[in-house]
Chain A
Amino acid sequence: DGGITQSPKYLFRKEGQNVTLSCEQNLNHDAMYWYRQDPGQGLRLIYYSQIVNDFQKGDIAEGYSVSREKKESFPLTVTSAQKNPTAFYLCASSMGTVNTEAFFGQGTRLTVV
């Protein structure tokens, strides 16, 4: 089945630790995105990538890092510099950039303990 897979579904992090959220897609999409969702707020863009080995900061990139070494993978690292990392993280992909539909994974809920 084609789609976007995020793992893990739930993740717990101790303060001061870095954690990496996985996002894999087998849709052959060029563009991939990471969003953060907090209760009562809309999705906010963290990072996005239009093509392999290229990515751009979104609106709330501080405390996060990404890589795009392969077309199908776009992992997100939440670093210890992120002051309030507890949130629901969503990964998305689209075929390209113009006039294309975005598809989402099922999300990862990160909790700092």
Chain B
Amino acid sequence: KQEVTQIPAALSVPEGENLVLNCSFTDSAIYNLQWFRQDPGKGLTSLLLIQSSQREQTSGRLNASLDKSSGRSTLYIAASQPGDSATYLCAVRMKTSYDKVIFGPGTSLSVIP
């Protein structure tokens, strides 16, 4: 059974720091991995999607990498801002007959001005 974990569970950094969020998964039979942002009481906003054949994706200050063989992905946020404060979730799309999307528990990020 696929298990997705995220480390750390919570992170607090001063504004301007570069930071890395980690996502691990146990079953490498995935189609893709997606990073989301969730603000309190809101739905999820897609940040980056990495296909299983790709190594990384970039969007602005965000860079996500994928090492499928080791079951790991990282989300790198450069020059963090208070507006980046949110919960970040990773999710993998499984290669099953009906492909499920399995989520990690999330990392709660607080960027202090």
Which chain A residues have a beta carbon within 8 Å of chain B's beta carbons?
A: 4, 6, 33, 35, 40-45, 48, 50, 56, 58, 88, 90, 92, 97-107, 109
A98 and B43 contact, Cβ closer than 8 Å, known pairs A42-B4, A42-B105, A42-B106: no
Residues of A contacting B93 in the complex (Cβ-Cβ under 8 angstroms): 97-99, 102
Residues of A contacting B102 in the complex (Cβ-Cβ under 8 angstroms): 45
Interface residue stretch chosen among B44-52, B60-68, B69-77, B78-86: B44-52
B43 and A35 form a contact (CB under 8 A): no
Residues of B contacting A33 in the complex (Cβ-Cβ under 8 angstroms): 101
Residues of A contacting B25 in the complex (Cβ-Cβ under 8 angstroms): none
A90 and B44 form a contact (CB under 8 A): yes
Closest chain A residue to B44, Cβ basis:
A104
A93 to chain B, nearest CB (A): 11
A71 to chain B, nearest CB (A): 17
A75-B49 Cα distance, complex, nearest whole Å = 27
A36 to chain B, nearest CB (A): 11
Most chain B Cβ neighbours within 10 Å, of A45, A48, A100: A100
A102-B101 Cα distance, complex, nearest whole Å = 9
A42 and B89 form a contact (CB under 8 A): yes
A15-B62 Cα distance, complex, nearest whole Å = 44
Closest chain B residue to A41, Cβ basis:
B105
Residues of A contacting B28 in the complex (Cβ-Cβ under 8 angstroms): none
Residues of A contacting B91 in the complex (Cβ-Cβ under 8 angstroms): 43, 102
B1 to chain A, nearest CB (A): 9
B100 and A45 form a contact (CB under 8 A): yes
Residues of A contacting B43 in the complex (Cβ-Cβ under 8 angstroms): 4, 6, 90, 104-107
B105 and A56 form a contact (CB under 8 A): no
A99 and B101 contact, Cβ closer than 8 Å, known pairs A90-B43, A104-B44, A107-B42: no
A109-B105 Cα distance, complex, nearest whole Å = 19
A99 and B103 contact, Cβ closer than 8 Å, known pairs A56-B98, A109-B41: no
Question: Given A92-B101, A102-B46, 16 more contacts at CB 8 Å?
Answer: A35-B103, A42-B104, A43-B89, A45-B100, A45-B102, A48-B100, A88-B41, A99-B51, A101-B46, A102-B93, A102-B101, A104-B36, A104-B44, A104-B45, A107-B41, A107-B42
